[in-house]
Structure 1
Amino acid sequence: MTRATRTAEYTGATTLCLYLAFELGSNEWKLGFTTEPGAQPRVRTMPARDLARLTREIADAQQWFGLKATTPVRSCYEAGRDGFWLHRYVTSLGIANVVVDSSSIEVNRRLRRAKSDALDVRKLLGMLLRYHAGERAVWSVVRVPTVEEEDRRQLHRELRTLKQERTRVANRITGLLATQGIGLPPGTDIGAAAKTVRLWDSSPVPAALRARLEREWEHAQFLRTRILELERER
């Protein structure tokens, strides 16, 4: 009796499926394959973003489980740094993929994980089976934007990044001045003030600190100009 036959008997299904869960890392990906709950999954490790290897691994898994090459494949991965390009690739192969909101995944209270920790591929695979068995509440599925929708977000994201950097620069300047007991009103031209302001003993700002303040102020002015340009484009 083949694995495929056992799966059909277990589920009562007339159409078999290969289930695939991705654990995505910067350098390596883990792939978990199965066809039924409770079965020992096939777990493979491959170089990240190697699409030719991924295609081979899927074909090898179909053969290993005794499935036809035309057997439907259902997959999932957690939303994160890799974005949606992988979703677009696997769906172009005819795979039914879901991108999962990692913060929505149920986690044992005693084993709470950091938000950035990747879920083990075996657990993710088990949850994929439950999801397709009808347990829709097992996680939240992320709506995948179109390429055009995602591209339109770039301007907003760049603006947000620049404003965050502007705040960091302003805080650095304030902190550097505070180390010398100096406080200047908001809007002060730091580049000019660094040359004229005096310390507690009426001595000038030390040369290296003055040079750093001038560089930070120059960077702040660049950020201000770029933010204004992008806001006009919006």
Structure 2
Amino acid sequence: MLTTADKPDAPAAIRVDLGAIFVSLELSKSTRLVTSLSPGSEKMSRHTVAGGDIASLLACFAEMRQKVLTREGKLYSLVVIQEVGLDGFWIGRTLNKVGWIENHFVEAASISVPRRRRRVKTDRIDGETLVRTLLAWKRGEPRVCSMVKMPTPEDEDRRRIGRERKVLVAERVLHVNRIKGLLFCQGIRDYAPLRRDRRVRLEELRTGDDRALPKHIKAQISRELDRLELLLEQIKTVEAERDALIAEQTTSASPAAVLLGIRGVGSEFAAILHSEGLFRHFDNRRQVAAYAGLAPSPWQSGSINREQGVSKAGNPRLRTTMVELAWLWLRYQPSSRLSCWFKDRVTQNGGRFKKSMIVALARKLLVALWKYVSAGVVIEGAVMKSA
């Protein structure tokens, strides 16, 4: 028989002296699962609220406070956590207007989960996990999760221009490829849908076996050209809005206006760099690289010590833009220190690993641009545009 000393210690009870009501929101299109842990209770409570009904959600929060007031004789505030997702930030902005609610957004991928082959995942488990994560984060445990800083409505709206243009350009590529594919099966290879004489050229086309273009495929291509021309007009409109926004910010010395002074940086690059990353505050260069997903991800365990490449855990639009800008930097800034560093490293490797080195150049270039925008540190060897 086991003595009292031999018995395993019982699991520690959940702290009840929390000083606040901790709440997690598991959001979906139809419903919201509200999981809460209140002072004086060791059991988590769950409530279901209709999706999009913010009044019912606030009423649920008020009912929680009233129950705790009846049980403890004290009115507690709420600390709420939710994942960044489809609902965006409008719920958080609404909750922040209430004086007794403290709202936080968390990056879902930063929360630790069991690594079993088939882990159990339900909304109930996720809600409890969010509450425990919030408790650990409020206690000050390091690296327990990554909280997301909620952007202002102005900063969030500024992103729309660059993101819409990217969607429109992708649709333009689809229509161009579809037209070329339709003509390729007829033996026509030299048709350019983006040329201004595309309509005239369509009437003059002859198939590979010297026949007139069949009427049905010709009609289909005409409709594709209608959609393509609409996209071209929309792209021009979006680019005009982008240029007007940058022109408005020129007098205030915004990051977009400052970046335009560097040779090789155009309006699109300057707008994306500003709206997707450089409008934020960073404490050091590691945070800059991590936000763009360009930070290294080593794998070290025992005798294993190797690099897995960049983490790709940050903003994908900013990362893609920086890789494109790195290639252009070599063309327009060949005498800069960063370009010379790239050429030396590639030469040492016998001309190999250019793709790996261009990613490293993109990381260094992003840090250099951040220093230039935030602190005015000029990039060594960089050529500025003439007035």
Specify the TM-score bucket, using the shorter chain as the normaliser. Answer: 0.7 to 0.9
What is the match of residue 132 of structure 2?
126
What is the match of residue 21 of structure 1?
24
Change (3 A) 1:122 1:111: farther
CA distance in 1, matches of 2:29, 2:199: 41
Which of 200, 205, 212 is residue 220 of structure 2 equivalent to?
Answer: 212
Q: Deviations over 1:151-177 (max 9, x none)?
A: 222222222222222222223223333
What is the match of residue 139 of structure 1?
145
What is the match of residue 150 of structure 1?
156
Highest RCO, 1 vs 2 (Cα 8 Å, sep ≥ 6): 1
Change (3 A) 1:199 1:77: same
Q: Deviations over 1:101-131 (max 9, x none)?
A: 2232223333689xxx998222222212221
Residue 65 of structure 2 is aligned to residue 59 of structure 1: no
Which of 83, 88, 92 is residue 87 of structure 1 equivalent to?
Answer: 92
Unaligned runs of 5+ in 2: 1-12, 243-387
Which of 228, 233, 236 is residue 228 of structure 1 equivalent to?
Answer: 236
What is the match of residue 205 of structure 2?
197
Which of 108, 111, 114 is residue 108 of structure 1 equivalent to?
Answer: 114
Which of 35, 41, 49 is residue 38 of structure 2 equivalent to?
Answer: 35
The more displaced of 199-208 and 141-150 is 199-208
Q: Deviations over 1:29-58 (max 9, x none)?
A: 11111137x943211221111111101111
What is the match of residue 3 of structure 1?
none
Identity of aligned residues (%): 31
CA distance in 1, matches of 2:187, 2:231: 26
* Root-mean-square deviation over aligned CA pairs: 3.0
Which of 50, 74, 81 is residue 79 of structure 2 equivalent to?
Answer: 74
SS of 2:143's partner is helix
TM-score normalised by length of structure 1 = 0.80
The more displaced of 153-162 and 62-71 is 62-71
Change (3 A) 1:149 1:112: farther
CA distance in 2, matches of 1:93, 1:100: 20
- Aligned 8 A contact 1:62 1:68 in 2: no
Code of the aligned partner of 2:236: L
TM-score normalised by length of structure 2 = 0.51
SS of 1:153's partner is helix
- Aligned 8 A contact 2:80 2:104 in 1: yes
CA distance in 2, matches of 1:134, 1:103: 19
- Aligned 8 A contact 1:23 1:119 in 2: no
Code of the aligned partner of 2:36: F
Change (3 A) 1:175 1:120: farther
Unaligned runs of 5+ in 1: 1-8
CA distance in 2, matches of 1:206, 1:98: 61
- Aligned 8 A contact 1:42 1:61 in 2: no
- Aligned 8 A contact 1:191 1:213 in 2: no
- Aligned 8 A contact 1:32 1:43 in 2: yes
- Aligned 8 A contact 2:83 2:108 in 1: yes
CA distance in 2, matches of 1:177, 1:88: 52
Residue 162 of structure 2 is aligned to residue 159 of structure 1: no
Residue 50 of structure 2 is aligned to residue 47 of structure 1: yes
Number of matched pairs: 221
Code of the aligned partner of 1:23: E
SS of 1:120's partner is helix
